[in-house]
Amino acid sequence: MLNLKQLIAALATTAAVALPLTAAASGEVNLYSARKEALIKPLLDRFTSETGITVNLVTGKADALLKRLKSEGRNTPADVLLTTDAGRLHRAKSAGVTRSFDSATLEKLVPASYRDPEGHWYGLSLRSRPILYVKGKVDPAELSSYEALADPRGVAILRKFVLGIQAQANSKTSRDRLCLRRPDRPAYVA
Cα gap 114→2, rounded to integer Å:
12
Whether this prediction's pTM lies above 0.75 is answered by no
Q: Write down the pLDDT at residue 61.
A: 95
Selected residue with higher pLDDT from 88 and 140: 88
Please count the other Cβ atoms lying within 10 Å of the Cβ belonging to residue 110. 19
- 114-123 per-position pLDDT tens digit: 889 999 988 8
- Average pLDDT (29-46) is 92
**Which residue, 43, 51, 50, is CA-closest to 125?**
43
Cα gap 68→85, rounded to integer Å:
17
Selected residue with higher pLDDT from 128 and 11: 128
**Which residue, 42, 46, 44, 69, is CA-closest to 57?**
44
Please count the other Cβ atoms lying within 10 Å of the Cβ belonging to residue 31. 22
Topology at the third CATH level for domain 4-114: D-Maltodextrin-Binding Protein; domain 2 (3.40.190)
Cα gap 158→163, rounded to integer Å:
9
- 102-150 per-position pLDDT tens digit: 888 888 888 898 889 999 988 888 777 677 777 887 777 777 776 776 6
Model confidence at 23, pLDDT cuts 50, 70, 90, reads: low
> Where are the domains positioned within the chain?
4-114, 140-189
- Give the least confident one: 4-8, 31-35, 135-139: 4-8
**Which residue, 28, 35, 100, 30, is CA-closest to 69?**
30
